[in-house]
Amino acid sequence: MRIVICGGKFEADYIIGKFLEDKHKVIVINDDEQAAKYISEHHRLPVIVADPTKSYTFEDAQIQGADVLIALSENDINNYITCITAQRFFGVKKTICRVLNPKRVEIYKKLGIHTVISSIYMLGQTIKEEANIQSIFKTLQLTDDLITLTEIDIIEEFQLHGKQIQNLNLPPRINISCIMRGNKVVIPNGQTRLQINDKLMIISATTDQKQIHDFIERSRKGK
Amino acid sequence: MRHKTLVVGSGRLGANIAKHFSLKGISVDIIDISEDAFIKVGDEFSGNTIRADATDMMLLNQLDIKNVERMVIVTGDDNINIYVAHLAQYIYDIPKIYIRLYDTDKGKLVDQDRIKVIYPFILSLDEFLDLEGDQV
């Protein structure tokens, strides 16, 4: 693949290294002379010192029809202009725009940039997902923390509903002790089918609790 | 009913355009990232001066943008002008959009059927040739 990397210093350096390892053809453009020198010396690669928001820079660099362009500078607006120019006038197949301000992710996508990445935005997404998982698990430690009671809400996303307990492939040493269904308590056996909104109570050794988390994570991805 | 004018960038041009509309009795907001820039609008100006980053969508959302009829985008940075013009056209659908660009080559980044572009370079060149009495 032909890959164009615009701006950035350490980020660019790292990404260029990865692409070179995989034998891609890399075109590097950077308007900061020091960053350009750093990258050029590190990878023994020519770096075009020019402003990537100008069309003539792309003409000189011959990026026409490149497979991917990544805009990594610390100026969100310049990255936007770089990507738009590459998409519209140089037939670049995929543009990736880095932004510092996470609020710009959605807007840039609306304005037509193929992919927008923000490290803060991704951190936020991860935290949201983690928080979601945490809220689904409630745990209570008993007898000097050796035994743990884990409570799990069966939400649709888990893809466990409709299955009989004997077919769940629960990890070893993990058994469902009881199920709260509405305000009824169900003492389950292998034939019991799980329903959405069931609350499972699982008593396990505290050391085995991670297995429950992993099991739920797997079912969530539908594996 | 759209009736307001929003000027982005309080340089000499932006400030004078804002003053012009204000004196005609049209409701005008002017935005600049630097407070000092508003000195140029002068005392006759009766609109709002807003110190803020015009590339920040949150700000534009707060500005009663649905009532903006005309947006004049004249910051000193072509890339910012183009980005704000794209927001104005594609996100807010402002009826009249004017933009200044120093780099004539960048004009192709905006939809010229919708956005009117002012190029100081072309105006200066024309004026020079005129002064010189050159018949092109």
Q: What are the φ and ψ backbone dihedral angles of A65, each rounded to 5 degrees?
A: 75, 15
Residue of chain A with shortest Cα separation from B87? A111
Domain boundary among A68, A94, A119: A119
Domain at B4-132, CATH class:
alpha beta
The total number of structural domains that make up chain A: 2
Domain boundary among A119, A142, A169: A119
CB proximity B79 to A under 8 Å: yes
In this structure, the answer to whether residues A92 and A157 fall within a common structural domain is no
- Residue-level length of chain B: 136
- DSSP β-ladder status, A176-181 and A184-186: antiparallel
Domain around A152 = 134-220
Mean pLDDT for all residues in chain A: 87
Instruction: Find the CATH number of the domain harbouring A100.
Output: 3.40.50.720
Q: Is B1 exposed, middle or buried (0-12, 13-18, 19+ CB in 10 A)?
A: exposed
In this structure, the answer to whether residues A47 and A88 fall within a common structural domain is yes
The DSSP output letter for B11 is S
Residue of chain B with shortest Cα separation from A52? B79
Judge if pTM exceeds 0.90: no
Please list, residue by residue across B68-88, b when 16 or more beta carbons sit within 10 angstroms of its beta carbon and e when fewer do: bebbbbbbeebbbbbbbbbbb
Residue of A7, A17, A12 lying closest to A80 (CA atoms): A7
In the structure encoding, which two tokens stand for residue B127, read together? 């004026």
In this structure, the answer to whether residues A74 and A39 fall within a common structural domain is yes
In the structure encoding, which two tokens stand for residue B25, read together? 């009795």
Helix (H, G, I), strand (E, B) or coil at A151: strand
Residue of chain A with shortest Cα separation from B86? A111
Predicted confidence at residue A223, as pLDDT, reads 47
Contact A107 B103 (CB under 8 A): no
The pLDDT of B59-67, averaged and rounded, is 83
In this structure, the answer to whether residues A146 and A105 fall within a common structural domain is no
Could you give the ipTM of this predicted complex? 0.89
Contact A81 B86 (CB under 8 A): no
CB proximity B111 to A under 8 Å: no
Q: Is residue A76 part of a domain?
A: yes
In this structure, the answer to whether residues A38 and A83 fall within a common structural domain is yes
Predicted confidence at residue A144, as pLDDT, reads 67
Measured distance CA(B11)–CA(B54) in Å, rounded: 14
For residue A179, list its beta bridge partners.
Answer: A186, A200
Residue pLDDT, tens place only, B90-112: 999 999 999 999 999 999 999 98
Q: Which residue has the higher pLDDT, A43 or A150?
A: A43
Contact B57 A85 (CB under 8 A): no
In the structure encoding, which two tokens stand for residue A221, read together? 């991805």
Where residue B135 falls among pLDDT bands split at 50, 70, 90? low
